[in-house]
Amino acid sequence: MNDKQTQKRELKPRLRFPEFTDPWLCKELRLFLKEYLERVPSATELPIYSSTRSGLKLHRDYYDGRELINGGENRVVPQGYFVYRHMSDDGTFKFNINKTGQRIAVSKEYPVFTVADLCSDFLLHVLNDGDDFKRFALMQEKGGTRTRLYFNILCSWKPLLPSHEEQQRVAASLSSVDALITAEARKLDVLKVYKNGLMQQLFPAEGQTVPRLRFREFQDAGEWEEVKLGALGELVQGLTYSPDDVRERGLLVLRSSNIRNGEIVLDDCVYVNPQVKSANLAQTDDILICVRNDSTALIGKNALIPRKMPPCTHGAFMTIFRSRSPRFVFQLFQTPTYQKQVAADLGATINSINGSQFVKYKFFGPKPLEQQRIADCLSSVDQLIAAQFQRVDAP
C-alpha cells in the first residue's frame, strides 16, 4: 500500500457515540507534533522530574533522594506539554503530560513535544493504551538490549484519527475511567503504607529486642530471642531440567515470573514431564524464593504457595523454605532486616543467594503463639491488598 492509499484508508470503531458518523482517517503524526527544545538555564531553579510508567515523579523521590543538577542541558517541559523516556527495556513506552501546574525540568535524554490540531488527552490514550502503537513501537527494536523510539520515528507513525470533536468525547470518556482506576490505585497505595507502618510497630526496630506495639496478651511475655533462619525451617532445592523435559502440560515448574506482588500467579507457566527426576513437589504454605536471577532486583522476592495449587515444583534458580510457622516467616521476609541481609549477600556474590549463607540469616522472634497472632494480623492486611490489587489490575 503506497502513501496515497494509506492516507485514504478509512475505518470506523465498533463502539461509537451515535452523533458521530464520519470515518476515521489515517494521518501521520508529524502533521500535529512539534518538538520543544528549550534548555534549562543553569541559573534557573526548576523542579526536576522523571518520566516514569506511573506518571511524572520528582526525581529525588523516584531515585531515593538522589538529585539531578540543573546544568544548562536539562529540558524544560511547559504546562500541558508531552514528555517520554525514549528507551525501553521491553519495547513499551509511557507518555506523560505535564499537569503539575508549573514549568518543570527533565533529563536532556527525554523528548519533549507539543500538539496542535489534535486533542492531547486523546493522543495520550492512543499512545499509552492503543495496540496499534504498541505494535509500531515494538517494530523499532533494532537489536541490542533496549528499544529506542526517537522523536522523528514517533512522528512517522500513522494512526487512525476521528474528528477533533469525537477525539474530545472519546478522551473524556476514557479519562473518567482513568479517574476510577487512579482512585483504586490510591487505595492500594494507602493499604501498602498501612501494612508497612504496622510492620514497623509489630517487629523490633534495629538494635531492639521487643516491638513498639504488642498484643495485650503478650505484653508481659518478655524479650524476643534472636534465631537463625535454619532453626525455623529448611531449604528445598529446585529442579534442574533440560529442554527435552519440557511439555505443553505436566508438572508445573515455578519460576521468578510466577511471583508478583507477594503472590503466586500462573499466567506465565512452564511444564515438564511429571516423571522427571529430582523434582521436589511444593506444599501448601511453602515459601517460594528467587535466589538467582540476571536482575538483582528480583533476588529475594518471595511468595507463599497457596492452597489448591496444581502439582508443582520449582526451578533451579528458585528455592523453597519449608517452615513450621510459614506465615510468620513469610512476614519476616517482608522486613528491612531480611532485605538488608539479602543486599549484603549480593555484595559478596553475583546475582545469587548462597543456600548455606541464607539459613544463617538472623531474626528476632517471639514464642509460637505470638508468632501466630502477628501472622494472622498481617495476613489479613495482605488479603485486603491482594483484593485491591485485583481491582486495579482488572482488564
The CATH number given to whatever domain includes residue 127 is 3.90.220.20
pTM (predicted TM-score): 0.64
305 and 274: one domain?
Answer: yes
314 and 371: one domain?
Answer: no
Q: Is residue 307's pLDDT more than 80?
A: yes
Neighbours of 220 (CB within 10 A): 7
Question: Dmax over Cα atoms in the chain, in whole Å?
Answer: 83
Q: Is residue 155's pLDDT more than 60?
A: yes
| Beta partners for residue 76, in sequence order | 105
153 and 178: one domain?
Answer: no
Q: How much is the pLDDT for 366?
A: 97
116 and 238: one domain?
Answer: no
181 and 277: one domain?
Answer: no
- Residue 66 near residue 50 (C-beta atoms within 8 A): no
154 and 93: one domain?
Answer: yes
Q: How much is the pLDDT for 326?
A: 97
- Positive or negative, the CA dihedral 255, 261, 262, 266 is negative
* Mean pLDDT over each residue of the chain, to the nearest integer: 88
Q: Examine residue 340 and state whether it is found in any structural domain, yes or no.
A: yes
252 and 300: one domain?
Answer: yes
Q: What is the mean pLDDT of residues 257-272?
A: 89
Q: How much is the pLDDT for 240?
A: 93
26 and 156: one domain?
Answer: yes
Domain that holds residue 141: 3-162
Q: How much is the pLDDT for 329?
A: 98
Q: What is the mean pLDDT of residues 169-183?
A: 84
Choice among 29-33, 124-128, 250-254, 351-355 with the minimum mean pLDDT: 351-355
Q: Which residues of 301-312 are buried (b: 16+ CB within 10 A; e: fewer)?
A: bbbbbeeeeeeb
Q: Examine residue 220 and state whether it is found in any structural domain, yes or no.
A: no
Q: Is residue 71's pLDDT more than 70?
A: no
14 and 76: one domain?
Answer: yes
Between 61 and 258, the higher pLDDT residue: 258
Q: Is residue 271's pLDDT more than 90?
A: yes
Q: Examine residue 96 and state whether it is found in any structural domain, yes or no.
A: yes
Number of structural domains the chain divides into: 3
279 and 348: one domain?
Answer: yes
Measure Cα distances from 280 to 107, 237, 275, 314, 316 in Å.
49, 7, 12, 8, 11
Q: Is residue 76's pLDDT more than 90?
A: yes
Q: How much is the pLDDT for 346?
A: 83
How much of the chain exceeds pLDDT 90, in percent? Answer: 63
Q: How much is the pLDDT for 276?
A: 93
Q: Examine residue 242 and state whether it is found in any structural domain, yes or no.
A: yes
151 and 292: one domain?
Answer: no
Measure Cα distances from 211 to 57, 77, 315 in Å.
34, 47, 36
317 and 381: one domain?
Answer: no
